[in-house]
Amino acid sequence: MYTKVEEIVNDVIVEEGKTSENDFLRYFKLALNGLKELNFDVGGGIRTIELKVSSNTLTVDLPADYVDYTMIGVYGLNGDVHPLGLRSRRSLISTAANSTSVSDDELEPPFEQYTQKYGIGGGNNANGYYRIDYENNVIQFTSDLSGKKIILEYISNNLVHPKFGEVMVHIYAEEALRSYIYWKSISRKRNLPPSEKLAARSEYYNNKRLARARMLKFTKSEALQTIRKAFKQAPKI
């Protein structure tokens, strides 16, 4: 269901008669810019994955297709998922034996309302705590979670495959990305008529609309229902 962006770029530069490494790098940069734009405009869905917390850094890497999270937790003895506590402004040095109370003003604004109601914020959390470090693209955890598996439920852009070391695009958005690369590659060429540039731009936007129609099976209302269900079913701590 995914295609390597490198393969798409190679196809485009062959069609354009480009062969040098500099050409590849220039077109690959255009492709990455195109991915960013498509990520904003083409919908995604919910994914759930297991990640192991590093014993050295107490972190896990955010997936390549990550947009935002809906739940972060650990498995309980009966197989249920128990949510971790959110800590945003304090050091994450703690252990399960001496879990530190987290005040409401340490919670990030979107989650303040869930502090007592859903058991994911303030008070003591025997399961441990996490913090999203967007600057380093990781999730940090308290020391009691060292080496353990955590469950990350997150909103995916569904465009970039979360495979380490490779940039891949969903096949539904492949033609839109090809169209973007071509459009941007000719947009500043003075020897081409404006009509050709306009045609390339129109083709991109048409392909983007088609990609959006195919990808938006997971609507905003469905995403909200999933998030609410996750909070509702979360064990209260």
Q: Mean pLDDT, the chain, as a whole number?
A: 77
Helices (H), the chain: 5-15, 21-41, 174-186, 194-215, 220-233
Name the residue ranges covered by the structural domains of the chain: 1-6+27-43+167-218, 45-156
Q: Which residue has the higher pLDDT, 81 or 125?
A: 81
* Other beta carbons less than 10 A from residue 114's beta carbon: 17
Across the range 35-60, mean pLDDT stands at 84
Contacts of 37 (CB under 8 A, 6+ apart): 180
Across the range 131-154, mean pLDDT stands at 92
Range of weakest confidence among 17-26, 69-78, 113-122, 130-139 = 113-122
Is the CB of residue 41 less than 8 Å from the CB of residue 211?
A: no
Is it the case that residue 141 has pLDDT exceeding 90? Answer: yes
Q: Is the full-model pTM beyond 0.75? A: no
CA distance 108 to 104: 9
Q: pLDDT exceeding 90 applies to what percent of the chain?
A: 38
Sort 135 into a burial class: Cβ within 10 Å, 0-12 / 13-18 / 19+. Answer: exposed
Q: Which residue has the higher pLDDT, 27 or 156?
A: 27
pLDDT for 162: 55
